[in-house]
Amino acid sequence: MTANLEQPSEPVGTAPTATAPTARVLPPRAGVMSAAGSRLAAMLLGAACIAWTATPLLHTGLAQTALTVAIIAVVAGALRLALIDIPQPEDHFFLPGYLAAWLTFLAILRVLAWEETAVVAILWLEIQHPARPWHTAALGAALLAYLLTTHIAESGTRASTLLRRHAKLLIVGACLLALGAGFAMIPAASAGAGSAVLRVLAALAVIAATALVLPA
């Protein structure tokens, strides 16, 4: 490490004018709008996944529980994204009660895995319904979109760049989703649980084969 020996300028300081040549200066307004947009999109996609899965409304205990958990998780995930820019102080000593409660609330929002909980709860809600292959396939696409949007919102990555890289995989994935739904619609060769499991294994084999064949 080398310390430079320059002296400070006059006390009436002037703002540093030169910017790093490699730095891309983005208009701040655009940054704020894109961040708010991706967070709003994540929340709307989560709400859409719940609404898509919950209809028609089931009144069994497990379905109600899964629905409640999914709503709480999506709302908490949206709150986490909305409050992600609020810095957390390093010192927690001698804080007033309301401030300590607020910091605890922020910590709970940031520590718990809300999106994972929401995904599991939504899938659990989906299997409470009778089998509906195309509906489930659409839900799979929506869940993946929800997770991607959440990642874009929290990492600040440019959505266009990330989606361009994922485009080929997403197209293949959509085909596999349709294939899975198609497998589910094939009538069983014989009655019993064995043939249903066989169809699931066949779908998995197709997915695995595709993953192996697909070039890097």
Residues between 144 and 163 with contacts to other proteins, criterion CB under 8 A: 144, 147-148, 150-151, 154-158, 161-162
Contact 176, 207 (CB under 8 A): yes
DSSP string, 24-77: ----HHHHHHHHHHHHHHHHHHHHHHHHHHHPSPP-SHHHHHHHHHHHHHHHHH
Closest CA to 67 of 123, 134, 150: 123
The residue from 62, 101, 209, 211 that contacts other proteins (CB under 8 A) is: 211
Segment interacting with other proteins (CB under 8 A) among 5-13, 36-44, 49-57, 61-69: 5-13
Instruction: Characterize 112-123 residue by residue with b for buried, 16 or more Cβ atoms within 10 angstroms of its Cβ, and e for exposed.
Output: eebbebbbebbb
Nearer to other proteins, 101 or 186 (CB): 186
Under rule CB under 8 A, residue 177 binds other proteins: yes
Which residue among 43, 50, 81, 139 contacts other proteins (CB under 8 A)? 139
Q: Which helix (H) or strand (E) holds 164?
A: helix 159-185
20 binds other proteins (CB under 8 A): yes
Candidates 89, 47, 87; CA nearest to 67 is 47
Using CB under 8 A, which of 113, 163, 189, 209 touches other proteins?
A: 113
Does 172 contact other proteins by CB under 8 A? yes
If one asks whether residue 111 binds other proteins (CB under 8 A), the answer comes out as: no
Helix axes 159-185, 133-155, angle to 10 degrees: 160
Asked whether position 7 contacts other proteins by CB under 8 A, the answer is yes
Q: Is 40 in the site for other proteins (CB under 8 A)?
A: no
Of the pair 7, 190, the CB lying nearest other proteins is at: 7
Q: Judged by CB, which is closer to other proteins: 98, or 123?
A: 123
Does 213 participate in binding other proteins (rule CB under 8 A)?
Answer: no
**In the structure encoding, which two tokens stand for residue 54, read together?**
């919950």
